[in-house]
Amino acid sequence: MAHRFETSCLKDSIDLFRYYKKLGERAMAQTPDEGLFASLDPESNSIAIIVKHLAGNMKSRWTDFLTSDGEKADRNRDTEFENPPATREEVMALWEKGWALVFAALEPLTDADLARSVPIRGEPHSVTQAIHRQMAHYAYHVGQIVYIARHYAGEHWQSLSVPRGKSEQFTADVHAGRTSQR
């Protein structure tokens, strides 16, 4: 993630959401098709199920973000963990659709909107709190996606950050101006 000094919480949040979206995409791109649909054990979710859940959450939270409760009456969260999409293309279509809702809701906002109140499950949140709540939720699930993807990519995995055993070289490169910090 390219870091730059930022004083806008909103701009920084949008950048972080884009970072997590890209991180998930980079992980899923390294996952063999069968790895998208496999679970590590009977109680675990596959990447496809996690993406389906994220898309359902994103639709509920970001549709009519400023004017309706973030937990929509027509959402059935339990079904998000059943019947995963059948193909990589369907997984990625859900992924894109969910993230499009996030950015469509956030990009028109201004810093002045951050203090407004939005309900989630009937509980009032400032827009800032709602954004942070979702940021934590999405980071949690993207971390799961990365972990599962890493497992199924096996020896073909290419690190999404500083590879193991390369921290000293990375730090030296940063200090020498040969790379930007992540």
Share of the chain above pLDDT 90, in %: 82
Name beta bridge partners: 126: 117
Domain count of the fold of the chain: 1
Count of CB atoms within 10 A of residue 162's CB? 16
Host domain of residue 130 = 9-15+35-171
The 10s digit of each residue's pLDDT in 83-119 is 999 999 999 999 999 999 999 999 999 999 999 999 9
Query: Considering the domain boundaries, does residue 94 fall inside one?
Result: yes
Nearest 5°: phi and psi at 107? Answer: -60, -35
Count of CB atoms within 10 A of residue 149's CB? 22
The 10s digit of each residue's pLDDT in 165-180 is 766 766 666 667 676 5
The 10s digit of each residue's pLDDT in 63-81 is 999 999 999 999 999 999 9
Query: Considering the domain boundaries, does residue 66 fall inside one?
Result: yes
Could you tell me the pTM of the whole model? 0.88
Query: Considering the domain boundaries, does residue 25 fall inside one?
Result: no
* Domain at 41, CATH number: 1.20.120.450
Among 144, 105, 134, residue whose Cα is nearest residue 24:
144
Q: What is the pLDDT of residue 132?
A: 97
- The larger pLDDT score, comparing residue 27 to residue 167, is at 27
